[in-house]
Structure 1
Amino acid sequence: MRENGRVTSATRRPETPASTVPTRLIATDLDGTLLHDDKTVSARTIAALAAAEQAGIEVFFVTGRPARWMDVVSDHVHGHGLAICGNGAAVVDLHGGPGAHRFVKVRELAPDIALDVIQLLRAAAPGTVCAVERTFGLHLEPGYPLMHMEPPEIVSPAEKLLAKDALDADQPVLKVLAFHPEMDPDGFLTVARTAIGTRANVTRSSPSALLEISGPGVSKASTLELCCAERGIAPEEVAAFGDMPNDVEMLTWAGRSYAMGNAHPAAVAAASGRTAPNNEDGVAIVIERILAERL
């Protein structure tokens, strides 16, 4: 199912006291948040996730990763088995294990808007090179660095990657990745947001000058909001965890939210609380506290 994006407020809501509104859903980012830097899930975190599910608290992994990079946590989805991928561009059922995921929702970036955004970025930040993330593959422009977890399927200028007769044109575009070899990451984000405006949602989660561009209104928060509405779960009943600018909307929207000890300043400003760094199991620490509150 394909849906238009919804804009979620970026105003930090006051946190409701935990004693009055029990947590019904935990939403956690992966890289820099749930995962250690070596991309593993610790034994403590695995136990905390399982205990939350056993207590009736749903757990959603909410990540910028594409669905095909979710093997690292596919063994830890319980119950619903769903994950929000591509910064909200897709909801994926991970049941069945690696290679057997199923797209439940797709909130695509229209190819004509994607090309418009790329051209605006080229003008605003000369030297920008881009990649196109479709549902089942990553396609690169010449000069785009090989920084991801897989080889590209196609290398060609964006105009060809996004053409109506392009290979895999039948697959929705989930996001555009834009890289600049010289600019400061936050500076590049500011330039891109100014140039693109409301045509698309622009964010970043990488330590390098790599931007992630989704459809207008598409974010981790807006897709999480859709999933929660389907379950009758209010923002006040959600605890969210994140570390980078692509988590800001989600941290703002959730009733309880925690920036990691290693978080970007924008994530810290958006969250209602802090926890330990990812390498010290900061997510597990809070989950254990939430479960203790229920006793």
Structure 2
Amino acid sequence: MTTATETPLPAVTRLIATDLDGTLLRDDKTLSARTVAALAAAEEAGIEVFFVTGRPARWMDVVRAHVQSHGTAICANGAVVTDLRTEGELLSVRPLERDAALHVVRTLREAAPGTSFAVELTTGINYEPSYPPFHLDPGAAVAIAEKLLHEDAPGSGAPVLKLLAHHSELAPDAFLALARTAAGDRAAFTRSSPSALLEVSGLGVSKATTLEACCAERGIAAAEVVAFGDMPNDVEMLSWAGASFAMGNAHPAAVAAATGRTTTNEEDGVAVVIERILAARAERR
């Protein structure tokens, strides 16, 4: 694994795709002045910056003030594309079908007793009584997952973006492996939390597949993309991009998937690479 200063960069960088938590954001969920300046400089140089995160669109205020000419964000691990220059407008949605979500619920209840669930909809999140409460979403409905996923008529409910599965005793990576074995044929499983919290999307939905579609719309090839991430939900994106960097604080799976490694999120690891990209561009002129 090469470092931020050794990893080859694309001959032409047209798009930067960066995760947020543990990557672009510091541990206190803020952006450093150096990172803000690097993002602005990239945009000024004509490089699109995509925020690609497991967060729902409603939790994007942490970066909304730093959007420049481009405001595209891929949220909920690829289930949603939104323009941060608007007030939460969803440009596209790739839902988890409710029958698949119910299958996952039934399967994990049997395979991992003690699992509790939350359901992330386009309208917000709801969760089971035993699920760790969401203090950022005080208006959530609380009920068993089967009730939260019930529709009076097919298609009458809001689209499901993610199913969240939490276990208080299993090790995070062991829980992920168990879930993929038990129900990986019906949905996509990943994780981004340090706890045993799984994020379940529609089959084939990931940061990478949605980023690839967004790039195709713009005529941008994978070889022209530089990506950053730190957790298992970044693995596919790091593997797809022409150049990719795992953070110094990254999970081993992200490190293995990336073409290089940068410093930690607390050490402005994304900005370090962006500055290098811009310096290389200036040298070629």
Q: TM-score range by the shorter chain?
A: over 0.9
1:113-168 CA distances to partner (integer Å, 9 max, x unpaired)? 111111111111011000000012111012001155322521011111011139x9
* Count of matched residue positions in the alignment of Structure 1 and Structure 2: 276
Which residue of 2 is the match for residue 63 of structure 1?
Answer: 53
Q: Equivalent residues in 2 for 1:77-156 (5 A)? A: 77-96=67-86, 100-147=87-134, 149-156=136-143
Which 10-residue stretch deviates more, 28-37 or 119-128?
A: 119-128
Percentage identity across paired residues of the two chains: 69
Q: Do the aligned residues in 2 keep the contact of 1:235 with 1:253 (CA within 8 Å)?
A: yes
Local SS of the residue matching 1:221: helix
Local SS of the residue matching 2:195: coil
Which residue of 2 is the match for residue 228 of structure 1?
Answer: 215
Which residue of 2 is the match for residue 239 of structure 1?
Answer: 226
Deviation at 1:264, TM superposition (A): 0.2
Q: Indicate yes or no: 2:15 matched with 1:28.
A: no
Which 10-residue stretch deviates more, 120-129 or 147-156?
A: 147-156
Which residue of 2 is the match for residue 259 of structure 1?
Answer: 246
Q: Do the aligned residues in 1 keep the contact of 2:7 with 2:259 (CA within 8 Å)?
A: no
Give the counterpart of 1:285 among 260, 264, 272.
Answer: 272
Where do 4+ consecutive residues of structure 1 move more than 4 Å?
A: none
Local SS of the residue matching 1:294: helix
Q: Indicate yes or no: 2:37 matched with 1:50.
A: no
TM-score, length-normalised on structure 2?
Answer: 0.94
Q: Indicate yes or no: 2:170 matched with 1:170.
A: no
Deviation at 1:272, TM superposition (A): 0.2
Q: CA RMSD, aligned part only?
A: 1.6
1:178-213 CA distances to partner (integer Å, 9 max, x unpaired)? 000100000000100000122110000000000000
Distance in 2 between residues matched to 1:149 and 1:235, nearest whole Å:
35
Local SS of the residue matching 1:139: strand
TM-score, length-normalised on structure 1?
Answer: 0.91
Which residue of 2 is the match for residue 12 of structure 1?
Answer: none
The aligned amino acid for 1:215 is G
Q: Indicate yes or no: 2:63 matched with 1:73.
A: yes
> Structure 2: which 5+ runs fail to align?
1-5
Distance in 1 between residues matched to 2:248 and 2:101, nearest whole Å:
34
1:54-78 CA distances to partner (integer Å, 9 max, x unpaired)? 0000000000000000001011122
Local SS of the residue matching 1:155: coil
The aligned amino acid for 2:54 is G
Local SS of the residue matching 2:138: coil
Distance in 1 between residues matched to 2:134 and 2:257, nearest whole Å:
29
Which residue of 1 is the match for residue 3 of structure 2?
Answer: none
1:11-30 CA distances to partner (integer Å, 9 max, x unpaired)? xxxx9953x62110000000
